[in-house]
Structures are given as structure tokens and as C-alpha cells.
Structure 1
Amino acid sequence: MSTVLPNVTMIAAVGRNGVIGDGLTMPWHLSEDLKFFKRTTMGHPMVMGRRTFDSMGALPGRRSIVITRQTGWSARGVEVAHSLPEALALVAGAEQVFVVGGGEVYRQAMAYAARLLVTEVDQSPDGSVTFPPIDPVDWVETARDEHPGFAWVTYERRG
């Protein structure tokens, strides 16, 4: 059993069908949500899988920790970890850490996260990469900000 870390927040845009992408790209372009992502994560470390990094690169103003199984992999401007616990250990002293994808990293991080920031997108796109189910036994919705075509929803871990 993993330990919930109070500084770990998962942030994702998720379709009605749970899809977050196809393994290469996001299935939508919501400029308001991209601005939300930028202002929310700015100045904080971001933990992501290698394919997520490949799709967005290192973002300015944020420390990037990339999880990969590939020994010897490196990229300019990022730190490399070979597991989620190793990545979280690298950012243990941070006030706030954002887990930004992809699907497998989200599944593993669910056990560590104290908060979820989910953009619920009013679409059901095709795609093979999904966000893990949000179990109401573990999570409670604490805020919802509705917009045309999407909503920003905050979940806090129960207990």
C-alpha cells in the first residue's frame, strides 16, 4: 500500500469516456484549459511519463521529472527517474507537486495523490490512454467551475 502525500496533485483533462489521449497527442485543444494548466503548475515540479514528455517537452518555469524504464535515456532540461517512488523522492521537499500524465503514471500516482484537478471535457474521443476511475469511496468533489464544453473539477481524498 502506498502512502498519500499531501503535496501531490494529479492534473488531467479527461473525456466523458475516460480518454485522455491516443498515446501521442491530446484529443482536443482547449486554450482556456491550457492557460489553466500553465498558471496552476507554474513554479512547481511536474512528474510525467516519457511519452507525455515527448508530446509536450520541458515547459518553462517548471521543474520536469520524467519517468522512464529506458536506462541511459536523457533529455535537456529534465531530471530522470525510473519509477514513480523515485520521482516523488526527487521532489519530496516541494510545497506542491503535479503529476501530469500519462495513463500509467496516473494509475500509479492515484495511491499517492491528495488532490485531483480534472478538466471534465464534454467529448468522448477515440483513444487508448485513459485516466483511472475516480472512486467516490476515496474521493469527494469539492469544487466545480462550469464552462461551455468543459468543467474544472477538484477532488480531495477522503479521510
Structure 2
Amino acid sequence: MLTLIAATSTNNALGKDNQLVWHLPDDFKRFKALTTGHYIILGRKTFESFPKPLPNRTHVIITRNKNYEAPEGCIVVSSLENAIEVCPKNEEIFIIGGGEIYKQSIDIADKVELTRVHTIVEADTFFPEVDPGKWKVVFEEFHPKDEKHAFDFTFLTFIKANPNS
């Protein structure tokens, strides 16, 4: 199963200057809970935005740089297709960014785990539109802003409305 996981604003903003534009501890906890123990597919720039590889996950890094040297335990590939090929079959695989990788994978994904941050921010990277004709919400959980979270946000899980489309 191929799952896209992201946090986006109401205008589908993901980030600016290769950084997230908010700090939502509950979103980080959910991301960690869902992706730990799994293969995660990501672009090189997204990978380089982390201080170090995320623990207990196998990183599959997509880059056009044929000489790219990733840390031990990471797999480097040249395309989304190659990334999917190196992942185990019959397991949930997570695509964690960035914007270009999401655009390439939205039509072949089985599920989208989205944290919708209820704000509009300036950004240079965006998540593709989740077409309500192709996707249906199967889980929704609202979280109001509080002392640790500057914005209201909603956890949403989408699955393909018609798996054959």
C-alpha cells in the first residue's frame, strides 16, 4: 500500500525554503506513530532538511545526482518507480515529500494521511489537490489550537473513492 503523508495549510502549502512553516507536536507524534518501522520515500532536498535520518525507518532517497552519498542504512535511487521497486511488497510504504514527489505519486497512491492546518501561509512548496471525486475521507479528527499548537488542525485519512480509477 502506497500512502502519502503530509501536513498542509488550507492553501496546500507544505513549506518554504526547505523548512516546515509551523511546529505542531501532535502532528509530529502522529507522523512518527504511522511511519516508524516502515520504508519512507522522499526527495533529496526533503532528506537534507532533517538533522539526521529518522530513527527506525528505512529511507529511500530519490535524487538525480548519480554520485549522491547518503548515510548508512539509506537507499538512493533515481526515480519514484525505482523507489517503489526497492520497497517490500505487501507492506505500507510512506511517501513523505517533497512537493515534486507528492505530485508524481498522488495518482498511484492508495491512501493519503493529511494533517490540514487551518491557516494560510506563504510557501514555495505545495501538496497536490486531493480531488474529492477520486478520494473519500474515512477518518477525521479536529484539534483546536492550544499552548503547544499555534493553529487549529485536522487529521484526515483519505482512501481512493474508486480503487479502479
Calculate the TM-score normalised by the size of structure 1: 0.93
Distance 1:53 1:155 in 2: 25
Q: Identify unmatched segments of 5+ residues in structure 2.
A: 145-151
Residue 145 of structure 1 deviates from its aligned partner by: 0.6
Query: 2: CA distance between counterparts of 1:32 and 1:9?
Result: 19
Does residue 70 of structure 1 match 2:65? yes
Q: Which residue of 2 aligns with 1:88?
A: 84
Q: How does 1:1-20 map to 2 (within 5 A)?
A: 7-20=1-14
Q: Which segments of structure 1 move beyond 4 Å, counting only runs of 4 or more?
A: none
- Distance in 2 (CA, whole Å) between partners of 1:43 and 1:59 is 11
| Amino acid in the other structure paired with 2:128 | P
Equivalences, count:
153
**C-alpha deviation, 1:104, in angstroms:** 0.2
Sequence identity (%): 34
For 2:71 and 2:88, the matched residues in 1 are separated by: 22
Tell me the TM-score normalized by structure 2. 0.90
Moved more, 127-136 or 52-61: 52-61
Q: Does 1:36 align with 2:30?
A: yes
Unpaired segments of 5 or more residues in structure 1?
1-6
RMSD over aligned CA atoms reads 1.0
